C-alpha cells in the first residue's frame, strides 16, 4: 500500500471503466495522521488532501502550505454552522453541505467574501439515523435550494453504510447527480474506491491505504 500503489489502482480502474484516469481526483485523507506521514506524502507529490475537522486542519495546514505550493484542501467531515467562516477561508472544496441553514450561511459568507469553495451536497443514501446528509427523496429539492442561493454546487457525496454493498449506493448517487445535471461524484474510500470509479466517481477519498492505519488517541 501507499500513494504510488493507489495511483496505479486508480489508473487501472478508470481504464477498465473506459474513463480517463485524470478525471478521477485522489483526495488523500490526512485526518488524525501524524505530521511526518503527511509530509512524506506531500514530498511524494500529492497535493489534494481531505480533513474531517476544521480545527485540526487549522492547526496542521498553514505550516505545510508555507513549505509546499499548490495544496488543495477538501473538507470531508460534518461542518458546524459556527465553523463555516473558518472553513470557507481555509478549504478549496466542501463535501458536506447537508442542510438549509448551512447553505444560507455559506451564501451570506460568499456575498461578503466575493468567493466560495466548490460545494458537494452530502446525500445520506442509506437513510442512517446517525449519519449526516440529505435523504435521497429530499435531494432534488435541496439541490434546487442551493442553486437558488447562487452557490457553486459541483456535485454530490455519499458514505455508504458499512454493512451494505457500496455499489448500490454509488449507483443511487450517480442517478441523483445525473438527473440534477451535476458532474461531481464524491464517493469511494480505501476499501471500495475501484467500485466507485466504475460507477463514475470523480473524487475518491483514500486515507489508511495511503498513510497506514490511523493512530487515534
**What stretches of 45-188 adopt beta strand conformation (E)?**
48-51, 72-75, 93-97, 118-122, 153-157, 184-186
Q: CATH classification of 3-211, choosing from 3.20.20.10, 3.30.360.10, 3.10.20.30, 3.10.310.30?
A: 3.20.20.10
Nearest to 55 by CA among 94, 105, 90: 90
pLDDT tens for the 217 residues of the chain, in order: 699 999 999 999 999 999 999 999 999 999 989 999 999 999 999 999 999 999 999 999 999 999 999 999 999 999 999 999 999 999 999 999 999 999 999 999 999 999 999 999 999 999 999 999 999 999 999 999 999 999 999 999 999 999 999 999 999 999 999 999 999 999 999 999 999 999 999 999 999 999 987 655 5
| Domain layout of the chain by residue ranges | 3-211
Q: What does pTM read for this prediction?
A: 0.96
Amino acid at each position: 500500500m501507499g500513494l504510488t500503489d493507489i495511483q496505479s489502482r486508480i489508473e487501472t480502474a478508470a481504464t477498465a471503466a473506459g474513463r480517463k484516469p485524470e478525471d478521477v481526483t485522489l483526495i488523500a485523507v490526512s485526518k488524525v495522521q501524524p505530521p511526518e506521514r503527511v509530509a512524506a506524502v506531500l514530498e511524494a507529490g500529492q497535493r489534494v488532501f481531505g480533513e474531517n475537522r476544521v480545527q485540526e486542519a487549522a492547526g496542521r495546514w498553514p505550516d505545510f502550505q508555507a513549505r509546499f505550493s499548490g495544496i488543495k484542501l477538501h473538507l470531508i467531515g460534518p461542518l458546524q454552522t459556527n465553523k463555516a467562516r473558518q472553513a470557507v477561508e481555509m478549504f478549496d472544496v466542501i463535501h458536506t453541505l447537508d442542510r438549509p441553514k448551512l447553505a444560507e450561511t455559506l451564501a451570506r459568507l460568499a456575498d461578503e467574501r466575493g468567493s466560495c469553495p466548490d460545494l458537494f451536497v452530502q446525500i445520506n443514501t442509506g437513510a442512517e439515523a446517525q449519519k449526516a446528509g440529505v435523504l435521497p427523496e429530499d435531494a432534488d429539492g435541496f439541490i434546487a435550494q442551493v442553486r437558488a442561493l447562487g452557490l457553486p454546487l459541483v456535485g454530490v457525496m455519499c458514505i455508504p453504510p458499512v454493512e451494505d454493498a457500496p455499489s448500490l449506493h454509488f449507483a443511487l448517487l450517480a442517478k441523483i447527480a445525473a438527473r440534477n445535471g451535476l458532474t461531481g461524484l464524491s464517493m469511494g474510500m480505501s476499501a471500495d474506491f475501484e467500485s466507485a470509479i466504475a460507477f463514475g466517481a470523480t473524487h475518491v477519498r483514500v486515507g489508511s491505504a495511503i498513510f497506514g492505519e490511523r493512530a487515534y488517541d
